[in-house]
Amino acid sequence: MTEELPEIPGFRYARPLGKNVHLYRSPDGEVAVKLLADPPRAGEIRTVLGLGHPGIVVVHRAGRTRAGLLYLVMKHYSNGDLAALAPLPVERVLDIGLQIADALQAAHRAGVVHRDVKPANVLLDEAGNACLTDFGVLGRDRLPWTAPEVITSGFYSVRADVFSLGATLWHLLVGHSPFVLPRGDNSHAALEQRILHGSPPPTGRAPRPLELLLRQAMTADPAVRPASAEAFALRLREIYHETAPAGSTVDAVVTPADPRPRRRSRWPVYASAAAVAAGVVGTSGVLWLKDDSLPQQNPVAQPQNAGAEAGPSPKVTVSVTRVNRETLRFSWTYQSPLAGDTFAWRTNDDLKSGTVETPSVDLYAPGALCVQVRVVRADGSNASDQTWSPEGCGF
């Protein structure tokens, strides 16, 4: 064993599983150890792992190698990831999509954006359930599933995660990213051009409502996409019920009130800063559509507030309370609330952002932190107004 690989008490090194991921064995079981050369922000990932969500990978412990590299000891998902399994049946894609969206929504509600949703970052447990990994770890091969605004400005948001989720499900239906041309030019520059200036074609395998939803999720304008992972999941569930054969059900469909059971591990899940540094129709002749081929109205109907009129975003006032040494609670009031309103928020350093359904969010903040908020109307009536509230700051 080289000095770059850690020694895990009670386990012996077995073999590599992939780049920077290794299998360790003990008489009682197996674990995967991931080395992180560029660890993500610890605070956000501590929040995610603290959720204990069944759709987020289990991390048992963390530490540093003798060479100083951070490593995570994770549950070994022997069924691997989704990258090599596509194409999959439509029903299975709907099932997986619901599970990923549920995990993303749990993270978004906690104020964490994933930043790298793609098939390789979705692992399958022994029951075939999907589990998200690598929260905040920006992989070098993320481009084929990346939202346009991330390429142009580096700004990650809830709706950027929705874009990547749509691209991931398209991949699962077809077998490759919607922006990759099999046997074509898939250089970095070519992929960027397709993402920025094109629109993926239909998969040719999905029912029309699902094709429209994926197209909407991958629209260049973030305001046109589903407003949240939860909104995306609700539409997926509707599509399933609209198209599924009589008597069939989606396997392992989860909601916040009905999480999938998980077997108890003999490892404790640590919440120290170190332990949470990471979570851990295709042919070369495919037709690319220009953005001006998109319909003028959203292809998927959005909830409507009767009588709502287009106009500026309501004025928002943000207040801050320190909950404990590591958490600030930002809450806000605003004028003229309507049913279905959601709230976009961002920190003053642009390192954190998200969308929530209630007018408050708890954020990891051992020091000072400022937040701005913007109301998002369900009917899109204020979509053209990107005005943010004055900063609310806590110390």
Q: Give the E-state strand segments of the chain in sequence order.
A: 12-18, 21-26, 29-36, 59-64, 70-75, 122-124, 130-132, 198-199, 289-290, 316-324, 327-334, 342-347, 353-356, 360-364, 369-376, 392-394
Token code pair at residue 279: 């979570």
Helix (H, G, I), strand (E, B), or coil: what is residue 1?
A: coil
Q: Are 72 and 33 in contact (CB under 8 A)?
A: yes
Cα–Cα distance, 30 to 8 (Å, whole number): 11
Amino acid at 330: F
User: Of 204, 185, 62, 131, whose CA–CA distance to 117 is shortest?
Assistant: 131
Residues annotated catalytic, as ranges: 116
Cα–Cα distance, 349 to 351 (Å, whole number): 5
